[in-house]
Amino acid sequence: MALRMKISTLPAQIREIAEMKLLLNDIAQNGERGEAELPPRSTEITPEMERKIEQVVQ
């Protein structure tokens, strides 16, 4: 049972390692996230955003 669980988690661990490598490469190329201060944004959904959301959902 324990061996079966370990084997079943391998694909997920392999994906996680690949994702981490992508993230590390992104940080190396673009710098760490949060270096620049961003202005506050409204949480209101604009008509343009609503159109894009509807396109994605359909």
- What is the per-residue burial (b if ≥16 Cβ within 10 Å, else e) of 13-30? eeeeeeeeeeeeeeeeee
Backbone angles phi, psi at 47, to 5 degrees: -55, -40
Mean pLDDT of 8-37: 87
Q: Taking all residues of the chain, what is their mean pLDDT, rounded to a whole number?
A: 86
Return the higher-pLDDT residue of 38 and 50.
50
Mean pLDDT of 26-45: 84
Q: What is the pLDDT of residue 1?
A: 57
What is the DSSP track for 28-44? HHH--TT-SPPPP---P
